[in-house]
Each structure stands twice: as structure tokens, then as C-alpha cells.
A and B are shown apart, each in its own frame.
Chain A
């Protein structure tokens, strides 16, 4: 069974631009969550989607948004990029929503550099 797939793996953007990252979950998984990883802040939860609905959201500004499609694939968007948005963005999927003991499985991540 294929794992969580994230695209693109690496990208460089300029301040003020926007970016869209994509995540395809493990087949059969309906929950997708997104995390930002930086050396200074560690792993921080962005949001979780389950059956196309945002169920939980972390403490990030409105520039960070996401969505989930009917096939459970998810995208996250960051608008008006800032230098501090440079990070590894990780997507994770699980069978059910976060309100359970299900394990979440991570993709390889998308490395975003903002210059």
C-alpha cells in the first residue's frame, strides 16, 4: 500500500507570493492533518480535515488555509509568504479523525524556502 505522498518536495518562493502544497493520504484514510516543522518552534499543528470538513485548527494566522477533496486528497495554501514561513510542511493521514487512538502516518514533507 502506498504511503502518504506530498508534492512538491522542494520549492523556493519569494516574499509576498503564495504557495499550494498537496497531500495524497494512504488509501482508505479519511483524515488528513498538516504540521509545520521549524528548528526553533519544532512541530506545530496547523489543521486537520476529515471527510472534507476542517475539524481542528492550530494557532496560525489566516494566511494558512487548507481544504480536502472528496477523494481525501488535501491541499494547504499559504498566502502573502513571509520569511518566517520557511519550514518543512508535513502531512499525515489516519483512518479516522483525531478524536481517536488512531496512528497518524506522515509523508516525506515539502520543504519551503521563502527568500
Chain B
């Protein structure tokens, strides 16, 4: 069975500092990994995904994520956080032929 863990319910970071939102996964076979962001009262917006190839994936709004197969992790990063990055972030995994499985979400607060 597939599963996704986001070990931190909440991440606080000062504006201008680097941010990391952690994600680990469990899946049989090769994973497809995704990050989505949700602003209040909105749907989820796609940020980036890893399918194959380079372990460092770059996405929207300056976000990037690093796929680490040995640690089964896919942490989301940004070099310099903005107040407008404050939102709920979801990591998701899917194996071939399987449904999307989302993590519980991590609330990011960027403090001015």
C-alpha cells in the first residue's frame, strides 16, 4: 500500500530565510511524487512533480524539491521565503496504476 508522511503539522520561518517542508513516502515500485499548495478556501494548486531523471526538480514560484530514493523522501524547499508563501502544502505519491495518496498537509507560516 502507498502512504505519505509529512512529519510536521506546522512550519514557521522568517521572511527571507530558506524553508523546507518534509515528505517521506512508501510505495511499491517507482513512485510519481507531487507537491501541491492550498490557499484558504481554494482548491489545490500544482507546484512540481518528480517522474524520473534529475533528482532535483524545479517548480512554480521558486520552489524546488529533491528526490532521495534511499531515504524515500521528497522534501520541498525554497531559498528565500515570502509572506505570500504562507499556505497549506500537500505531498502526494502515486505508483503506476494506483490512486493518488496525499499526505496530511503541512501548514507553512512565513513571518514578516
The chain A residues found within 8 Å of chain B, CB to CB, are 4, 6, 33, 35, 42-43, 45, 48, 56, 58, 90, 92, 98-101, 103-109
Asked if residues B99 and A58 are in contact (CB atoms below 8 Å), the reply is yes
With beta carbons under 8 angstroms apart, the residue of A98, A103, A108 that contacts B43 is A108
Report the bound CA distance from A103 to B100 in whole Å.
Answer: 10
Q: Say yes or no for B63: interface residue by CB 8 A criterion.
A: no
Compute how far the CA of A101 lies from the CA of B95 in the bound complex, rounded to whole angstroms.
9
Could you say which interface size class chain B belongs to? 20 to 34
Closest to B101 in A: A45
Given contacts A43-B102, A101-B51, 18 further A-B contacts (CB under 8 A): A35-B102, A42-B102, A42-B103, A43-B90, A58-B99, A90-B43, A98-B99, A101-B32, A101-B49, A103-B34, A103-B49, A104-B100, A106-B36, A106-B44, A106-B45, A108-B42, A108-B43, A109-B43
27 A–B pairs (Cβ distance < 8 Å), ordered by A: A6-B43, A33-B99, A33-B100, A42-B102, A42-B104, A42-B105, A43-B90, A45-B101, A56-B99, A58-B99, A90-B44, A98-B94, A98-B97, A98-B99, A99-B97, A100-B96, A101-B49, A103-B34, A103-B46, A105-B46, A106-B43, A106-B45, A106-B46, A108-B42, A108-B43, A109-B42, A109-B43
